[in-house]
Structure 1
Amino acid sequence: MNEPLPGLEIAPPQERSVLLPKEAYVSETYAREEGEKLWGKVWQVACRAEEVPNVGDYVTYDILDESIIIVRNAPDRIEAFHNVCQHRARRLTSGCGHARQFVCPFHGWRWNLQGRNTFVLCREDYGATLSDEDIALPKVRCEQWGGWVWINLDPQAVPLHEYLWPAAPTLDHFGLDRMRYRWRQWLIFPCNWKVALEAFNESFHARISHPGLSEFGSVADYWCRGQGLHCWHGPEQAVGAGTMSRNDKPAPIMPGSHIEPRRRLALTMQRFKDEVDALTTQTIVDAAARLVDELPEGTPTGEVGAHLMRQAKADDAVRGVHWSEVPHEVMLTAGHDWHLFPNTIILQTRTHALCYRARPNGWNPDSCIFEAYVIELFPQGEEPRTEWLFVPDWTDERWPKVLREDFQNMPEVQRGLKSSGFSMARPNPKQEATVSHFHETLARFMGRGAPVPIAPQD
């Protein structure tokens, strides 16, 4: 397909050693400018469509000084409106709920679900100076993809499917629109929204920050890609699944590679469930626990993994969960972690996804609203009832252990960025190229702050 937006293909790693200016993380002026130059121009996730299942259901989405009402106003239609009374500017909604109409608590002006005004107190006082068009709720661009409802404050923005290229055509194979919430939590975090996202748009940190996940085997290396506005990454090779890494060199020996493959995979899946509450499902955990009974000792690692996926897929089919059929070539290139610019991260599989969203908490560059959630395939009618759970303390054990390990880095990074002894970040040119790509894209919107190439030293 033709590329609808200018590409930002990541150059070969040896050509991408860069420095990242720290202004984007700490400057109050920069944070202010983001409102107009970034958040006023980009497509951003407002909610999942399942949050507004019935006509009259609405969600309020706030970004900086803007507030948007997302409402299902017909069985097959979701629209968005500016959340502001056209009389004296009182906001009409907060949070989420159900309404037959929107009524201003100040003077009682009313609008139907299509945004048309239906009542003005003492309208006759205005004579002929008040038109229905003038007092309709202003519409906001609103489109859907992947089960999410997206908004864009720019009336001239490109269509969502163009904006999301090449992410959408790749991730469409995974059936994200068929998945529903399994859990969802949020908190206010003392760091810039970009610091929060960058804790999750690369996996280079995993072997150090998450020692428990490396206990039964680890990935030796990661590749990164960037194209259009978005970036993604994936594993070069999991140790034990061929033991070859970048450039066909022997993979380094990582913890856990000595454990017999059937047991290692069972232990890994259980660890994911216990410490991430994501990256696997109960069906896969149960199927992995049977590997030692279903396969003989000495079965090659690749065959163990393939058997696990076949059995889990069959088990799910029995209970009415049908995995997405993803072509082999897509599986090879899709990676496992997509950063959709500017502020959504998706770790996708054929049955579930772990997702993150971060956005500014007002104009303070040292604070952000951070959300984590899991969506999953469920049998029809058996989707769990969930709500957004505010868990303000990041050390609270309601946050999965692995996320708490990530969280402990984030405020310390924000503090370190303010040090007079730190001027620029130095992302790994190979395994953190997603971070560099993010800042290159960000600089296109902001007009400054592009990564600074590092000249090779003699």
Structure 2
Amino acid sequence: MTSTVLPGQWVDHAPGPDDFAPGTYNMSISTERYTSPEYAARERELLWMKVWQFAGRVDELPKVGDWKVYTIYDQSFVIVRGKDEKLRGFVNACRHRGNVLCQGTGNTKRGFLCQYHLWSYDLEGKLKGLLREADAGPLDKDDNSLIEVPVDTFGGFIFINPDPGGAPLSEWIGVEAMAILAPYRLDQMVTVMNVREPLDCNWKVVLDAFDEGYHINGIHPQLLAVLEIDPATSRYRFFENHSIAMAPFEVRGANADKQVEGIMALPETFPGTAAVIPRFQELVKPYTADDGSVTFPEDVTARKLLQQATRDTLTGMGLDVSGLTDEQMSDNHGWTLFPNFFMTIRAGECHVIMAVPHPDGDPNRCIWHVASFMYLPPEISDQFKVDLIEVDEPGSYKYFEALHQDYVQMPRQQLGLRNTKLDHLTLVKEEVVIAHFHSVVDRYLSQEGSK
């Protein structure tokens, strides 16, 4: 009998925080990279104009002619679905006098028309016609078609790269990383939360915050009543540009009653677990005495029952989770896809945190974007799908508790980073993902890397 090795089993042989020799990564991070306009200007040209970055979900552009605008700093691009169903990206400027072609989102069956002098382009970006064309003089339409930039998709996400000479998206993400993510069925998930707003901190403060669990004791005290935090059990996988971090989901409490109590409290902080609780209660019932107390035999834990309940619930909904391990039923894996895409993912759901520099170039500001996705049966998924919410008034949108705590903390950190006497940060070993992330930033800014 042969056993099938699942992609999620990478954790079984992955290094922990004690397995990285001193000096593997630089654990001293300069504060100028968070506050210096000069540093931010180098990032713009050497990093942001060279990398793949999230631009939306495939289901935002389902029909031929659907388009949306993506901007980074003052650079504007339009992404459109062509007649051949392919998504393409173009510099959002007419080739005649540079007028912006599109703003926001929309649909065009015939192509793009510049309102300034009525030059028109088809969905493939080719110049079709222009006002008084016969009198325009010598003009090569091919040479004056829209400027194309790379657009590609993975896992239902749209990515765009301002650099036409960059590596393909599949090479950028990597075969191994894509294989690990495939069983989660990201491309079949539906957007259930989608919020974007300006935030008073550097974009890297956001990535740093979600690249470690060291802060849980400080700003997420409610989680300590539910979860056991043991950094020694964390496992990591580092790629050239990206990383994965995993900490086992361990419920606090030595006895069965406390373990079950912790699981029952999960929906308050992790809303996605609510659908699993009824099945979990069914599985606990055989171990429950008449007085309500719970006793587990040696080979049963609340964590194992949560894993079974999750698999049973998702499978019962007609969803395929056969490619995921039991541990992936309960454990969140934290992915950092460089430069700004952080995702926690477990069976049935994922949550994405992103941040880009503020368009005005101020290193003390960014635009953060949070989105949640769920793997749901197609017949009910539309009931849960939401549109993007753009928040104009700080603090007016109410995030769930743990996310709100991060939202409040990050601008406080930026205030501290602006102190000129503070010239560096010191990382501890369980912040090794942050150190890896900054090593990739360093590689780009030293012009050593192009992938």
| TM-score of Structure 1 vs Structure 2, range by shorter chain | 0.7 to 0.9
Q: What's the counterpart of residue 361 of structure 1?
A: 358
Give the unaligned 5+ runs of structure 1: 1-8, 241-254, 450-458
Distance (Å, rounded) in 2 between the aligned partners of 1:143 and 1:308: 36
1:283 and 1:316 in contact (8 A); partners too = no
The secondary structure found in structure 2 opposite 1:375 is strand
User: TM-score when scaled to structure 1?
Assistant: 0.84
The answer as to whether partners of 1:60 and 1:68 remain within 8 angstroms in 2 is yes
Between the aligned partners of 1:381 and 1:75, the Cα distance in structure 2 is 27
Report the CA distance shift for 1:257/1:365 in structure 2 as closer, same or farther (over 3 A). Answer: farther
Q: Which aligned pairs between 1:241-390 and structure 2 lie closer than 5 A?
A: 256-257=253-254, 260-261=257-258, 263-273=260-270, 277=271, 280-296=272-288, 297-299=294-296, 302-323=300-321, 325-327=323-325, 336-362=333-359, 363-383=361-381, 384-390=384-390
Name the amino acid aligned to 1:138. Answer: I
Unaligned runs of at least 5 residues, structure 2:
1-15, 289-293
Q: CA deviation at 1:147?
A: 1.1
* Separation of aligned partners in 2, 1:391 and 1:218: 35
Q: Is the 8 A contact 1:394 1:404 kept in 2?
A: no
Q: CA deviation at 1:229?
A: 0.5
The TM-score with structure 2 as length reference comes to: 0.85
Secondary structure at the aligned position of 1:33 is classed as helix
**What is the alpha-carbon distance in structure 1 between the residues aligned to residue 206 and residue 302 of structure 2?**
36
Structure 2 letter corresponding to 1:282: A
Corresponding residue to 2:121 among 105, 108, 111: 111
* Counterpart among 202, 206, 209 of residue 219 in structure 2: 209
Q: Does the C-alpha gap of structure 1 residues 423 and 393 become closer, same or farther in structure 2, counting only changes over 3 Å? A: same
- Asked if 1:73 corresponds to 2:65, the answer is no
Pick the aligned partner of 1:231 from 220, 224, 243.
243
How far 1:294 sits from its partner (Å)? Answer: 4.6
The structure-2 alpha-carbon separation of the partners of 1:223 and 1:327, relative to structure 1 and needing over 3 Å to count, comes to: closer
Asked whether the equivalents of residues 267 and 273 of structure 2 are also in contact (C-alpha less than 8 Å), the reply is no
Residue type of the partner of 1:115?
G
- Report the secondary structure of 2:77's partner residue: strand
Is 1:176–2:186 an aligned residue pair? Answer: yes
**Percent pairwise identity:** 26
2:253/2:259 contact within 8 Å kept: no
RMSD of aligned C-alpha atoms? 2.7
Bigger Cα displacement from structure 2, 102-111 vs 315-324: 315-324
Deviation, 1:309, is 2.8
Quote the residue 1:445 is aligned against: 444
| CA 1:285–1:90: 2 relative to 1, 3 Å | farther
Aligned length: 418
Superposition deviation, residue 144 in structure 1: 1.2
Query: Which residue number in structure 2 is paired with residue 36 of structure 1?
Result: 45
Q: Give the distance between the partners of 2:169 and 2:216, measured in 1 at CA.
A: 32
More helix by share: 2
Other-structure match for 1:152 = 161
Q: Distance in 2 between matches of 1:227 and 1:154?
A: 22
C-alpha deviation, 1:289, in angstroms: 4.4
Counterpart of 1:396 in structure 2 is 396
3-state DSSP of counterpart to 2:269: helix
